[in-house]
Amino acid sequence: MNRYFTVNRIEFAVTYLCNSKCRHCQLGEEEERKRIPSHIDKDKAVEIVRRVGEEYGPKSVMTFGGEPLLYRETVFAIHKEAENMGIPVRDVITNGFWARKTEKIEEVAVGLAKSGVNDVHISVDCFHQEFVPLKIVRKAAESLVKAGVPRVVWNPCWVVSKDHDNMYNRKTKAILGKLEDLPIETSDGNNVQPEGRATVWLRDFLPSKTKMPRGKCGGMPYTEPLDSIHTVCVEPDGGIAVCKELHIGNALGTDIIDIIEGYDPFEIPEAKTIIENGMDGLIEWARKRNVEPNPDGYYSICHLCIDLRRRVNLT
């Protein structure tokens, strides 16, 4: 077993394509999403679930996107294999916009239930509902409950925080109010992150940029310490990432177990310096490669880290 990588969870970014254009989306504009294959290979995804399931016995498998149900058969196959492997939590994050016709909406809901999905988070807020009709989302949720999916949850995204008073949060709360009659819980949701479209449309609500943001790798949202990874993150092209744009292999060409067992962050120069010296070390690592921090500053250490690594890779 790898001392730096113990798998408790498998996450599949099934696709980065989407049927919405939410102004808070972290993924950026459409042209960025088309740089990689449209979706993960179904057979390879099933193989990853089986191999990781046999070797590590993870506790959960998640599929998300983009909108993962654009490729519903792949989502079904991933979760059916997870169920076969005895992985207890099998969840999907979706915007609930699978179809317009009631018959098709119900068909997809039944497919999710039959594939073993037991936790569906539906993204509902003022951003999604700018493009996704609420009546369709309501029907999707009702269909999931009827089909027997054990847990269905509204998952809103808040601007600044849930308690912050602004026009976006007020709209989101009004939308959730229209759904209160359904037997569905509302999660705490998440907060808009300073990435992608949010940096264009919501810049007035983002934190101020600073020359040297505070924070620690692994303590930021959606991150883990690079010397204590617990999540296999699979991207649409088969890439395996331990953090955003920090890839350690590609499962299309290398066995997933070999990728996991071969991971040593101290053999990856940028990972090594982050572990040992944090962002100060990463800045020095970049400077030695003739890349200086952006004088305009950064929203967060993640923003700083991604920018420096991107620009070093271009040199």
Give residue limits of the domains in the chain.
5-207
More confidently predicted of 67 and 26: 67
- Name the DSSP class of 312: H
- Tell me the C-alpha distance between 187 and 32, whole Å: 30
Q: What is the pLDDT of residues 267-277, one digit of tens each?
A: 999 999 999 99
Tell me the whole-structure pTM to 2 decimals.
Answer: 0.95
- Tell me the C-alpha distance between 226 and 3, whole Å: 11
Task: State the pLDDT confidence band at 1, using cuts at 50, 70 and 90.
Answer: confident
User: How high is the mean pLDDT of the chain?
Assistant: 95
Q: What is the pLDDT of residues 100-111, one digit of tens each?
A: 999 999 999 999
CATH number for the domain whose boundaries are 5-207: 3.20.20.70
Written as six digits, the tokens of 174 are 């009004």
Q: What is the pLDDT of residues 236-295, one digit of tens each?
A: 999 999 999 999 999 999 999 999 999 999 999 999 999 999 999 999 999 999 999 999
- Tell me the C-alpha distance between 79 and 204, whole Å: 40
For the chain, what is the largest distance between any 2 Cα atoms, rounded to a whole number of angstroms? 60
